[in-house]
Structure 1
Amino acid sequence: MSCTEPLSSPTLPRMYEISADQARLDVPRIHEWLSTDAYWALGRPLAKQEAAIAGSLNFGAYHRETGEQHGYARVVTDRATFAWLCDVYVDRAARGRGLGTALVTAARDHLAPYGLRRIMLATADAHGVYAKLGFEPLAEPDKWMALGLQ
């Protein structure tokens, strides 16, 4: 599937479409959302967000009539064995319609043909949302480690 074609999701509200076309992203809007309202990215500089977008597979959720972006998700992946789903955000005015679930479903389904071994994510407060889509807590969290550099 081309990254410029709209993606499907069985849970996508009719008024929206999802695309992996990086050219459609409203980068200033994404930066505003994440740097001011997302606990994991507060204060993230625009240049850092632009670099993250450039090195990732990105998904936008857009209102069909206006073209305005209402949601975003980013995936860091080698497209062979591993992916990290991150920066999932739905505009506050568009929440409660299932758009976040549809966005994550479309990203997951877009990754399926790669035959990845694992898609990871971290969340402080949305475990139930991700569990509905097949995500589970780590079976052996004691095997995982992280290096925090900042």
Structure 2
Amino acid sequence: MIYEIHHERRHEISLSTDKSKLDITKIYNFLKTSYWAEDILIPVIEKSINNSLCFGVYDLNEQIGFARVISDYATFAYFADIFIIEAYRGKGLGKWLIKSILEHPELQNLRTLLLSTADAHELYRQFGFKNLPLPERMMVISNASSQS
């Protein structure tokens, strides 16, 4: 599927869904030290980007944030790999990124939006995310070691 490239600006900070602008090295350097993607390999990142709707946040041409959404664009979306680099945190950019994702035309009227977080519950609650109402219905196969 090909979707229209989405761009927004806040002064010198911009947000885009144009994958050609993504800095894979910067994404890799952040993710390989994150709690959720520790030791991930570049080919895994590249494949995940190729198969996701991606959002980059930029200060002029330098990438300072990222998020990707895995979706069927009809009923379900999973938000993943969301980050703003530390030097830019506390400026509302994470909130802007989440709001922009939620407002993206291809992600409207979905039945379920899902994400996983260890430490940003309060951020996501501001946008309507809640704890799973029936977590006992959810199941997982975790092959974390196969992702690196």
TM normalised by structure 2 equals 0.89
Letter in 1 for 2:25: P
Give the RMSD, CA atoms, in angstroms: 1.6
Is 1:44 matched with 2:40? yes
The number of equivalent residue pairs is 142
Give 1:21 deviation, angstroms.
0.9
Q: Are 2:57 and 2:65, in contact at CA under 8 Å, matched by a contact in 1?
A: yes
**Residue identity in the other structure for 1:3:** E
SS at match of 1:70: strand
User: Which consecutive residues of structure 1, in runs of 5 or more, have no partner in the other structure?
Assistant: none
Q: Give the distance between the partners of 1:113 and 1:74, measured in 2 at CA.
A: 12
CA spacing shift, 1:111–1:147, aligned 2, 3 Å: farther
What's 1:55 paired with?
A: 51
15-24 or 80-89, larger mean C-alpha shift: 15-24
Q: Contact 2:102–2:108 (CA<8 Å) still a contact in 1? A: no
The superposition leaves residues 67-111 of structure 1 with CA deviations (integer Å, 9 ceiling, x where unpaired) of: 111100010111111000010011111111111111111111115
Normalization by structure 1: what TM-score? 0.87
Flag the structure with more relative contact order, 1 or 2, with Cα contacts below 8 A and sequence separation at least 6: 1
The one-letter amino acid paired with 1:4 is I
Report deviation, 1:119: 0.7
Q: Would you say the 8 A contact 1:7–1:20 is kept in 2?
A: no
Pick aligned residue for 2:13 from 13, 16, 20: 16
Q: CA deviation at 1:50?
A: 0.6
Runs of 4+ in 1 over 6 A off after TM superposition: none
Equivalent in the alignment of 1:118: 112
> Does the 8 A contact of 2:66 with 2:84 survive in 1?
yes
Structure 2 residue ranges without an equivalent (≥5): none
Seen in structure 2, the aligned counterparts of structure 1 residues 135 and 31 have a Cα distance that, compared at 3 Å, is: same
Q: Distance in 2 between the 1:27 and 1:100 partners?
A: 19
Rounded Cα–Cα distance in structure 2 between residues aligned with 1:105 and 1:112: 14
Correspondence for 2:22: 25
